Amino acid sequence: MVRFEDVGMRYGTGPEVLRDVSFALEPGSFTFLTGPSGAGKSTLLKLVFLAEQPSRGLISLFGSDLSRLRRGDLPPLRRRIGVVFQEFRLLDHLSAFDNVALPLKLAGRKDREYRHDVEELLAWVGLGERLNDKPATLSGGEQQRVAIARAVVAKPDLLLADEPTGNVDSDMGERLIRLFVELNRFGTTVMIATHDRALIEAARAREMRLVDGRLIEMRGTL
């Protein structure tokens, strides 16, 4: 589903933030991406999400060589990916419900077709009473939960999450990892960048470790 071959990445003329990174994510796999701050985890996720292009090396996504794709080929690929960003990227003028429903609206689905699913998902992440609240009235942890719900609501083929439990307590963290595991059981490939060892131990999935932009360790299997 995702393949990196000797990928390097630098911003401008600065030093490489990723160096000779090679790995593959098989369909239906569950992988944690770990390493110290500044190791390149967020950059790697941006490359997978097509938000950045590598400086060198090859990346293939859903069987397509990204270097051969035209700009118009990218949106259909992005729609197959759910992303939980560290900065949330919620739309301030939309309610929690409408933020979560946005991927379904963009896919052309009608309100009556998805309302129950969105309400149920928001209840699962502890925001069943905040459906109509806008992001400015929510705490950081609540905004993060809205962002997670938005990323998973369309049951994407690939889910990428950057520190998804960074602003929630341990009980909610456990609930969220159960959500990710359940999504994975239904076939979604999951990759989570995290420092949270409890999260990793709860899921017992493969771990990829980055240090100074290099992939130095891969251990465990789903």
> In this predicted model, what pLDDT tens digit does every residue of 146-202 receive, in sequence order?
999 999 999 999 999 999 988 888 888 888 888 899 999 999 999 999 988 878 888
pLDDT at 205: 87
3-state secondary structure of 9: strand
pLDDT at 221: 53
d(CA 135, CA 112): 24
Structure tokens at 218: 């891969």
Return all residues near 173 (Cβ < 8 A) that are at least 6 apart: 165, 196, 198, 199
d(CA 84, CA 192): 9
**In the block, which residue shows the tokens 């379904």?**
104
Cβ(35)–Cβ(79) under 8 Å?
A: no
What contacts 24+ positions apart, CB below 8 Å, involve 176-181? 176/125, 176/145, 176/148, 177/202, 177/203, 179/124, 179/125, 179/148, 179/152, 180/30, 180/152, 181/30
d(CA 140, CA 143): 5
Residue 77 exposed, middle or buried by CB count within 10 Å (0-12, 13-18, 19+): middle
The whole-model pTM stands at 0.91
Please state at what angle helix 96-106 crosses helix 140-152, rounded to 10 degrees: 20
3-state secondary structure of 130: coil
d(CA 106, CA 99): 11
> What single-letter amino acid sits at 67?
S
- Gap between the terminal Cα atoms of the chain: 15
Low-confidence ranges of the chain (pLDDT < 70): 220-222
